[in-house]
Chain A
Amino acid sequence: QLDHGCALHAAARDGLSSVSSRDVLAERPRAVFHTSESDPAKHTEQHEGRLYNIPLEEVKAVFPHGLPHRFQQQIQTFNEARLMVRKPALELLACLKGSNFAHPAVRYVIYGERGTGKTMTLCHVVHYCSRQGWLVLHIPDAHLWVKNCKELLQSSYNKDRLDQPLQASAWLKNFKTSNERFLQEIKTQKKYMWGKRESTEEGRPLREVVEQGLARVRSASDAVGVVLRELKQQSHRGSFRLLVAVDGVNALWGRTALSKEDKSPVSPEELTLVHNLRKMVMNDWSGGAIVTTLSQTGSLFKPSSAYTPQELLGKEGFDALDPFVPIPVPNYSPREFESCYGYYLERKWLQHEKAHTEDGKAELRFLSGSNPRQLERLAGPL
């Protein structure tokens, strides 16, 4: 099948001079590297190694904040979002499809070396779940919550903890865009007091809580905490499925780069956001799943060669997350490499004349070591 594609590809290259036949010829090689199947639910091993399209409106709705920066740039350049279907993602989807939601939520930890596609796998799963109608709680990068925080307020709820109004409000905004209809349906079960005057009654839609958090930035972190607690309690009942997708979960158990006013370091438990998130990631609730990624890139105080769960989570995190289903993400297999290369070629991203030859492909494969990020960075200036 691949030879057929390669022959067609060669024909496409030769035929590019004649404009009339271009459209006809360009359509057919597409079929090899791409699938028209844009519903992740229907992706099977047959689709492995191929790229599928996500319509741009869906991208804005589902991933207001989830995609890696470079991928967003690529979407802007190519004017379409193409995600590769890879084996780890397919495994995860199979597990999710077959899981029993009466049991406590299963935890999946996606791990792998730098730049192998862990975040992309997570986004694939998130897309699937949103298509299926789940409520997606997507935290794009937990590392953002433990470093580079300009404002730290002392929490009004609990004297020991510290609030992060900016990060919390940013996250609430994105959460609102991604899960509009759920916020209307889900009702609060308790009365919450925001400071002395404002309060939210029982039975009000969650959207009011979110808006309260956005309006009163000081209490944004508490609003986040409230949202998380409500969702956890209500997912039991089964009216909706909850997916907790955390990228860079090892941030929750490491050290932080923040310090209090008296220059003493802050440990993660003292941050409200982190504390609440840890409670979410515990598997004491049912009716959904928890999918997390380990990330070394944003992690603090960890060596760059560390990528296994033990190293990155540390003892504390490992015990907290145990038991979990580990999902390793390897570099591109030869087939995946071919399809990625073919995609770049087809979108005319590789402009160098040698890049079109077999030798050029072999060079790219050697220099990038079949690592998706390296390949993407290499193909950039070409």
Chain B
Amino acid sequence: TFRQICTTTAVQRKNVGASGPEKYTEAFIKKQIEEFNLGKRHLANMMGEDPETFTQEDIDRAIAYLFPSGLFDEQARPMMKHPNEIFPEQRKIQWGEDGRPFHFLFYTGKQSYYSLMHETYEKLLNVQKHQDQLIAQDLPLQKEKRNLAGNRWLTKIELEEMLLEKVSDDDYSRFIQLLQKLVALPCANIEEKYIQKFSKEVPVQLQKVVIEPLQYDERGVAFSTGEGKRKTARATVVVYDNGTGKTTVNGIDILHYFPVLQDREQLLFPFQFLGRIGKHDMVCTVSGGGRSAQAGAIRLASAKALRSFVTEKEVEFMRQAGLLTVDPRVKERKKPGQEGPRRKFTWKKR
């Protein structure tokens, strides 16, 4: 069993509905829905738009316009959404008027989990039966493999949301093992639709980023631009080909602009990594930040510019080396009641 340490904030929201008895009655939710629709029409009237064709995006824009907020957390700002999205899904009452539960597995405690396991095992048996039939008929087994690389299974929290009840780590791992067993069988293509309910696509990182082609200036020398930032410094860099390794920052030679060796080493790093130290000329403009921040910004910008000169594999190496990632560290905010972001006031006994 493994535990996810860092999850996105969206996933961290606890599934309130599964934890206890009903907090919101059905009638209450229906009333909320009616109120929401009425409110939507009122809002459309206020904004002067057509109430019939007022979409959720329009609602969001209108609310952001009417109640501007400077808060950083998107979920802390005022919002108006359909009650189904705000009030989490809940389990309806599981037993009837006579006290008899509807589901046959109610007394196991985890009825939806066990029913899911039963279903999945049923599918497994189905596939095995189909396989036996094919072997009996001496027909070749279908061997179309699914694309395993780009998919991942549902996370535990996503499974919890689907089943509306808590799932322990052990149960989750058993379920995943069962699914993997199912997928491993050659004739699993029959149950493809069922399996797809539990798998998600993982987009490959690199596909999103577009590498610009090289540009050529009047002299015929190839060059490319890149932009980078670090803390508060912003830098733009133009990297020319067929150079001698001369670097200019804001019109000043790097020896004069960065007297400290550490900053020059930062500038050197992308070129050293690719082995192209003396081959390119660089002209940079940088503003903001301090000495180290400017050096980091120029480093990022030059790495981005060098992407156009280099093969895709090397771009992947650069990305893994951390040359192409924006450093997210910024100055932490000072909190009230403390002297700094972490430092508390001197504690006096009396």
Contact = CB atoms under 8 A, between A and B. Distances in A.
Given A366-B268, A367-B265, 4 more contacts: A362-B278, A363-B272, A367-B264, A369-B264
A305 interface: yes
A359 B276 CA distance: 9
Nearest to B261: A367
B245 A366 contact: yes
B255 interface: yes
Interface of A: 305, 359, 362-363, 365-369, 371, 374, 378
Chain A at the B interface: SS class: helix
A362 B261 contact: no
Contacts, number: 32
Given A305-B256, A359-B275, A365 B245 contact: yes
Top-5 shortest CB links A-B: A369-B255, A362-B277, A362-B278, A367-B264, A366-B245
Interface in B214-261: 245, 247, 253-256, 261
Nearest to B265: A367
Where chain B touches its partner, the secondary structure class is helix
A362 to B, nearest CB: 4
5 contacts: A305-B256, A362-B245, A363-B277, A368-B255, A369-B254
Contacts of B265: 367
Contacts of B272: 359, 363
A366 B271 contact: yes
Contacts of A359: 272, 275, 277
B275 A363 contact: no
Interface string B256-296: 10000100110010011001011000000000000000000
Interface of B: 245, 247, 253-256, 261, 264-265, 268, 271-272, 275, 277-278
A363 B261 CA distance: 12
Nearest to A370: B255
Interface centre among A362, A366, A374 (most CB of B within 10 A): A366
A366 B255 contact: no
A367 B277 CA distance: 10
B268 A363 contact: yes
A369 B244 CA distance: 11
Given A359-B272, A378-B261, A365 B278 contact: yes
B253 A369 contact: yes
A367 B268 contact: yes
Nearest to B254: A369
Contacts of B277: 359, 362-363, 365-366
A369 B282 CA distance: 13
A374 B256 CA distance: 12
Contacts of A367: 261, 264-265, 268
Contacts of B247: 366
